[in-house]
Structure 1
Amino acid sequence: MDYSLIISRLGQQVREKRTNRGLTQAQLADLAGLTRQKVIAVEKGTLSVAMVAYARVLGALDCEFAVIPAVLPTLEELADLFE
């Protein structure tokens, strides 16, 4: 599986957790000790974001990484890869 799709999915999950908790990007950034721009990059799945930024965001959301078997990409995810 393409690593960019994995990072994209992680960013989407971070965004969902943040919005489900009623937090703005600025509030999450403050909790994680990051800039709002870094939180935006995490949520977009920007490939240059360091793993420590993901860890800080997930820690601020009281979440952690879990390694699970990959699932096949959806048609929408495949289309996004070719944009």
Structure 2
Amino acid sequence: MDATLLMERLGTQIAQMRKNRGLTLVELAAQSGMTRQKLAEVEKGSPTVSMSFYAKALAALDSEIKVVPARRPSFEELREVFR
């Protein structure tokens, strides 16, 4: 799996967790000790941002990463997509 795609997925999940908790970019940035601009880059999944910033955002959200093996969709799942 492409590393850029993984970063984008992680950023999207961080953004969704922030929104689910009713936090603004400014609020989560302050809680995580980074600027609003840096947090926006994290949420976009920027590959140029150090993983330490992703970790700071996750820590401020009291969350962690769970690593699971990537899987390919089954034939039946693909059939539903292409109907």
TM-score (normalised: structure 2) = 0.83
Structure 1 residue 71 displacement after superposition: 3.9
Quick one: structure 1 residues 44 and 71, their matched pair in 2 at CA, closer, same or farther if it must change by over 3 Å? farther
Quick one: structure 1 residues 69 and 27, their matched pair in 2 at CA, closer, same or farther if it must change by over 3 Å? same
Give ranges in structure 2 of 5+ residues lacking alignment.
74-83
Per-residue deviation, residues 24-82 of structure 1 (Å, max 9, x unmatched): 00000000000000100000000110011011000000001111112449xxxxxxxxx
Q: Between Structure 1 and Structure 2, whose CA radius of gyration is higher?
A: 2
The answer to whether residue 7 in structure 2 is matched with residue 20 in structure 1 is no
Give the AA of the match of 1:57.
Answer: A
- Looking at structure 1, the residues matched to 17 and 72 of structure 2 have their Cα atoms a distance apart, in angstroms, of 22
- Looking at structure 2, the residues matched to 3 and 72 of structure 1 have their Cα atoms a distance apart, in angstroms, of 16
Identity %: 51
Matched residue, 2:31: 31
- Looking at structure 1, the residues matched to 4 and 72 of structure 2 have their Cα atoms a distance apart, in angstroms, of 14
Give the AA of the match of 1:60.
Answer: A
After TM superposition, the runs of 4+ consecutive aligned structure 1 residues lying more than 6 A away are none
Give ranges in structure 1 of 5+ residues lacking alignment.
74-83
Count of aligned pairs: 73
CA RMSD of aligned residues (A): 1.3
Matched residue, 1:5: 5
Give the AA of the match of 1:61.
Answer: L
Quick one: structure 1 residues 37 and 68, their matched pair in 2 at CA, closer, same or farther if it must change by over 3 Å? same
Matched residue, 1:78: none
- After superposition, where does 1:63-82 map in structure 2 within 5 Å? 63-72=63-72
TM-score (normalised: structure 1) = 0.83
